[in-house]
Chain A
Amino acid sequence: MNTSTQAPFALEVSGLTRTYGEGVGAVHALAGVDLAFPSGTFTAVMGPSGSGKSTFLTCAAGLERPTGGAVVIDGQEITRWSEDDRTRFRRERIGFVFQGFHLMPYLTAEQNVGLPLRLAGHRPDRARVRSLLERVGLSDRAGHLPGTLSGGQQQRVAIARALVTGPAVILADEPTGSLDSRTAHDVLRLLRSLDDRTVVMVTHDPVAAAYADSVVFLVDGRVAGRMDAPTADAVAGQMAHLDDLVAVEAAS
């Protein structure tokens, strides 16, 4: 599973739109997003609540079909594919980390990590699963059920699971949203340490965003700016500015 692909961008979206509903009540969750994520980078996507961050991620992951535009992952344009084809592609080439961990409650940590391989019809390589658990610092918890793990530990199992297929890109939706700041710090450091991977993380927390190489800002389903080498203060300042923009728009 060699992931250092030839394409310069692990994930590229162009003209991405997603509209919920029709007519007057239609919500344009994504109103034309063009973004490219270079291989091996860690990018945070920020924006106020309702700005379309989650929608962006689910469309990029092929979970949902966008209304328009293209999603290119690992050199493949997946938007027109059938549900089954997208599922197969997704479980091999995309690692997803959710806010709510989404571990299967009746499988041990080790079994949860191996699950994407199982679903793809492979027998998980025990050594590989073990080494991933070690990488996320949980080698001593391999046989534990999720119910006996703390939130931070569960999220680290989920990250190991996202890594198991050697995906082209890891997409994380508010991965620290359910964690306290100390455990969040551990999880973010772990995500940042994956420098051989492309990580795209949605968050609304400036402190979390500061762990990334760069930050992309979304407002009302559009890209509203970009910041390299972010600091928590700079991101917070930019966010406050964006909030003002939204407030002004709402008032007018």
Chain B
Amino acid sequence: MTGLALRSLRHRATAFTATFLAVLLGTALIGSFATLIQTATGPVSSTDGETLMVLGAVVGGWGTLIVLFSVASTLAITVRQREVEIGLLRTIGATPRQARRLIRLEALVVAILAALGGSLVAAVGGRALLAMLRNGGLVADDVAYGGGVAALAAAAAGVVLTSVLAASIAGRRATGGPATVALAQGASESGRMRWWRVLAALVLIGYGLAMGVVTITVSADSADPYDAMATSGSSSILVGVGLALLAPLLLRWLSVLARPILGRSGPTGHLAAYNTSRRSHLLSGVLAPVIVLTASSIGTLTLVGIDGRTLAGGVSTPETHTINVLNNVVVGMLSLFAAIMVINSFAAVVSHRRAELNRLWLLGATPGQVRGSVLAEAWVVAGVGVLVGAAAALATIVPFGVARHEGVVPDGQLWLPPLLAAGVVLLTLLSARSAVRRVAPAAPAGQPALR
């Protein structure tokens, strides 16, 4: 089985690039912040220790949630990509258990290699991060980098463990049905969601909303103006990740609303309308990061704006400075990661559908129509993602606005959310375009192309 896994990996190196990238970046990110925590436990003053701890734990914590989520969803796409092959293996006598073991082994090998690479990046990134904090005056100049193997290993282990867990779940799903090659048509893909996924989503959304309520009812009246930020700041991310977990459902429901519009935009729109709703589980891998990206960027940047306006009278203390840096780091980091995930998952989804897109060409679609149908799908994903993400952002904006007496609608920078939304839509469309450009039509050699 191990030999088979290694050979399969070498043969399909491109298919695992998405997973590799997600694990590498994820480890680099989590690892960098983990080194801050390790540095905090070293010989530093208690204030510096606290700053480092908060940065590492808060920012690193949110990062971890999103990274683990992304790694898991990328792995799910990669495993799906191989359902045909898994079906074939089973028809020639592999038991479901053997097939799952193969999937887990492959994930393990890819994740370990990527996590090793990610740790190296984190060793450099952690130093750069600390240097940035020193230059920004957030910690004393004499704070020395104390990160080491412990922090990096913990980060790497966490990501690898998540990968293997995600592969087990995806594998269970892939081998759930009867052994058949009929999967070659991508026919028996069911979009059912597991109960624990729905539960996790509801918990996250509920927690985010509860924090909003706490912000309005309790921390709004607190003497420290930052209490309101502490309670509401992460709500948009919480609700965003929660909604992202429900992405398959949301896409199925909301893309039905888009059907009348798509129906009028020719054959490509017609195809996109049905593909997005009937195979929502495929494109939900792209939708999820779009939601998180929209929610976290709009939510946090609007919060920074409200904070700037309502505290404008107050002097810029080291504390406000730290908090500003912290917020910007969160947004920058999450946006970068989510953006890469959008590109990554679109590439994975399109390469998964290569045979099917080729089929469209065989049936008489021009290459332009094939590309057009994927772009139309990208429009739907972008539209739904921005809509849902913006709604999630309200979980931060409204409570914080009320707490800082700006009311439900912020007093300024109302151009910011539409601008960010436009950026997200553009990113999604460009990802789709670059992914689909690599799909060239090929005449059938009797069988659908399986490369």
Is residue B127 contacting chain A, with contact meaning CB distance below 8 A? no
Within 8 A of B (CB), among A67-92: 83-84, 87-88, 90-92
Are B363 and A102 touching (Cβ within 8 A)? Answer: yes
Q: Are the CB atoms of A145 and B364 closer together than 8 Å?
A: no
B271 within 8 A of A: yes
What's the Cα separation between A29 and B184 when bound, in Å?
27
B367 on the A face (CB < 8 A): yes
Cβ of A105 and Cβ of B366 under 8 Å apart? no
The segment from A2-10, A116-124, A131-139, A227-235 found at the interface with B is A116-124
Residue of B187, B445, B446 ringed by the most chain A CB atoms within 10 A:
B446
Kindly identify which residue among A64, A88, A151 contacts B366, using a CB–CB cutoff of 8 Å. Answer: A88
B356: chain A residues within 8 A (beta carbon): 104-105
Of the residues B188, B274, B362, contact of A96 by C-beta under 8 Å: B362
Decide: A120 and B445 in contact? CB cutoff 8 A. no
Task: Determine the main DSSP class of B at the interface with A.
Answer: helix
A111 interface residue (CB < 8 Å to B)? yes
Contact of A118 among B270, B275, B368 (CB under 8 A): B270
Question: B305 at interface (Cβ–Cβ under 8 A)?
Answer: no
CA distance A63 to B221 in the complex (A): 71
Beyond A58-B444, A102-B448, whether A120 also contacts B364 by CB under 8 A is: yes
Contact B364 A104 (CB under 8 A): no
In this complex, what residue of A is CB-closest to B368? A84
* Interface pair B363/A106, CB less than 8 Å apart: no
A interface footprint on B400-418 (CB within 8 Å = 1, 0 otherwise): 0000000000000000000
In the complex, the answer to whether B366 meets A102 with C-beta atoms within 8 Å is: no
Q: Is the CB of A173 within 8 A of B187?
A: no
User: Nearest chain-B residue to A105 (Cβ)?
Assistant: B186
Contact residue among B187, B270, B362, B369 (Cβ-Cβ distance under 8 Å from A105): B187
Minimum CB–CB distance from A244 to chain B (whole Å) comes to: 24
Residues of A within 8 A of B279 (CB): 105-106
B433 near A: Cβ within 8 Å?
A: no
Query: In the complex, are the beta carbons of B364 and A100 less than 8 A apart?
Result: no
User: In the complex, which residue of chain B has the Cβ closest to the Cβ of A64?
Assistant: B443
A106-B443 in contact given A91-B363, A146-B185 (Cβ < 8 Å):
no
* Complex interface residues of chain B between 174 and 197 (CB less than 8 A to chain A): 182, 184-189
A98 at the interface (CB under 8 A from B): yes
Interface residues of B in 187-218 (CB under 8 A from A): 187-189
B444 touches A105 (CB 8 A): no
Of A83, A106, A119, which is within 8 A of B278 by CB?
A106
Q: Indicate if the CB atoms of B185 and A147 lie closer than 8 Å.
A: yes
Report the minimal beta-carbon distance from A178 to chain B, rounded to whole angstroms. Answer: 9
Bound state CA distance, A85 and B360, in angstroms? 16
Q: Are B360 and A104 in contact (CB under 8 A)?
A: yes
State whether the Cβ of A190 lies closer than 8 Å to any Cβ in chain B: no
Known interface pairs A102-B362, A103-B185. Does A121 touch B267 (Cβ–Cβ under 8 Å)?
yes
Given contacts A63-B444, A107-B274, contact A98 B188 (CB under 8 A): no
- Nearest opposing residue in chain B for A177, CB measure: B446
Q: Which of A54, A63, A84, A100 is close to B184, meaning CB atoms less than 8 Å apart?
A: A100
Residue contact A90 to B271, C-beta cutoff 8 Å: no
B446, A119: Cβ atoms closer than 8 Å: no
Q: A64-B443, A104-B359, A106-B274 are in contact. Are A83 and B187 (CB under 8 A)?
A: no
Interface membership of chain B positions 331-373, coded 1 if the CB is closer than 8 angstroms to chain A and 0 otherwise: 0000000000000000000000000100111111111110000
Residue A217 at the B interface, CB < 8 A? no
Contact with A along B255-292 (1 / 0, CB 8 A): 00000000000110011001100110000000000000
Query: Is B316 an interface residue, CB under 8 A from the partner?
Result: no
Check A54 against B360 for contact (C-beta < 8 Å). no
What residue in chain A is nearest B275 (Cβ atoms)?
A: A106
CA distance A121 to B267 in the complex (A): 7
Cβ contact within 8 Å between B444 and A104 = no
A99 contacts B by Cβ under 8 Å: yes
Is A42's CB within 8 Å of the partner chain B? no
- Asked whether any CB of chain B lies closer than 8 Å to the CB of A101, the reply is yes
Q: Mark interface residues in B406-444 (1 if CB within 8 Å of A CB, else 0).
A: 000000000000000000000000000000000000011
Whether B362 and A118, one on each chain, are in contact in the complex, defined by CB atoms closer than 8 angstroms, is no
Q: Shortest beta-carbon distance, A66 to chain B, in Å? A: 11
Please determine whether B274 and A63 come into contact, CB atoms closer than 8 angstroms. no
The interface residues of chain B lying within 8 Å CB-to-CB of A12 are none
Q: List A residues 8-62 near B (Cβ within 8 Å).
A: 54, 58
Determine how close the nearest CB of chain B comes to the CB of A61; give it in whole angstroms.
Answer: 9
Over the window 125-151 of chain A, the binary record of Cβ atoms lying under 8 Å from chain B Cβ atoms (1 yes, 0 no) is 000000000000000000001110001
Cβ-closest chain B residue relative to A174: B446
A63 touches B443 (CB 8 A): yes
The listed residue (B278, B364, B444) touching A87 by CB distance below 8 A is B364
User: Judging by beta carbons under 8 Å apart, are B185 and A119 in contact?
Assistant: no
Which chain B residues border A151 with CB–CB below 8 Å? 182
Instruction: Tell me the smallest distance from the CB of A242 to a CB of chain B, in Å.
Output: 19
Asked if B46 is an interface residue, CB under 8 A from chain A, the answer is: no
A99 touches B187 (CB 8 A): no
List the A residue with the shortest CB-CB distance to B279.
A106
Asked if A208 lies at the interface with its beta carbon under 8 angstroms from chain B, I say no
Given contacts A54-B444, A119-B267, contact A91 B360 (CB under 8 A): no
B447 interface residue per 8 A CB criterion:
yes
**Cβ–Cβ < 8 Å partners of B185 in chain A:** 100-103, 105, 146-147, 154
Q: Which residues of A contact B368 (CB under 8 A)?
A: 84
Q: Which residues of B contact A121 (CB under 8 A)?
A: 266-267
Can you add 10 more A-B contacts, CB < 8 Å, to A106-B278, A118-B270? A54-B444, A84-B366, A87-B365, A96-B362, A99-B446, A99-B447, A105-B278, A116-B363, A121-B267, A147-B182
